[in-house]
Amino acid sequence: MPVRIPLDWDIECASFLRSLQQRLLLLMDYQYVDWVTIANLSAEGNAGCQAAIPFAVHQHRVDIIEECSKIGLKLKSLEVSSWNMPILVDFLISSSHITGNICFDPNTFRPEYIDSLLKRTEAIYLQLCQFEAGICLKDLQISF
């Protein structure tokens, strides 16, 4: 998936994202990969650049957080199928870096995953809405 880079975005960050994409793709087994959107949330408030990178549901998921936080990037959204939802719940709870939307595959989505997520977080705000690609949890915010 191509990286979308506005002309005014810092070239070093753009380069880093391309490199991160390539390294992660080499590391991962494709059947365990979903895609995550990374947004530039720098001190200057420039959130214009986004890049889709692979998101693994096993050992590499924390690496993405660590690598991106080094240059002021944060995860903006996740799009996942429900088979990996239990692992995603653990991932959300272990990270304070995720804000934005989480989208689920409506064909296999199970409401008990949301119950689990709610029970295991200290503070969370969810606004459910239907949209054509599935069920979306809008404006997910987690506080610890």
For 97-133, give the DSSP string.
---EEEEE-TTT--THHHHHHHHT-SEEEEEEEEETT
Strands 73-80 and 100-104: parallel
Please check whether residue 134 is in contact with residue 109, taking contact to mean a CB–CB distance below 8 angstroms: yes
- Determine the longest span between alpha carbons in the chain, in angstroms: 43
Residue 20, pLDDT score: 54
- The CA-atom distances, in angstroms, between 102 and each of 12, 22, 34, 71, 138 are 28, 24, 12, 23, 7
Bridging pattern class, strands 73-80 and 123-131: unpaired
Q: Tell me the residue range of the domain where 83 lies.
A: 3-143
Please state the domain count of the chain.
1
Tell me, what's the pLDDT at 6? 40
The CA distances from residue 38 to 92, 98, 109, in Å, are 15, 10, 24
pTM strictly above 0.75: no
Supply 36's token pair: 């995550």
What is the C-alpha to C-alpha distance for residues 73 and 89, in angstroms, rounded to an integer?
21
State the 10-residue block means of pLDDT for the chain, 144 residues long: 39 54 51 42 38 41 53 46 45 44 45 51 35 37 33
Query: How far apart are the C-alpha atoms of 3 and 92, rounded to whole Å?
Result: 24
Can you give the pLDDT at residue 26?
54
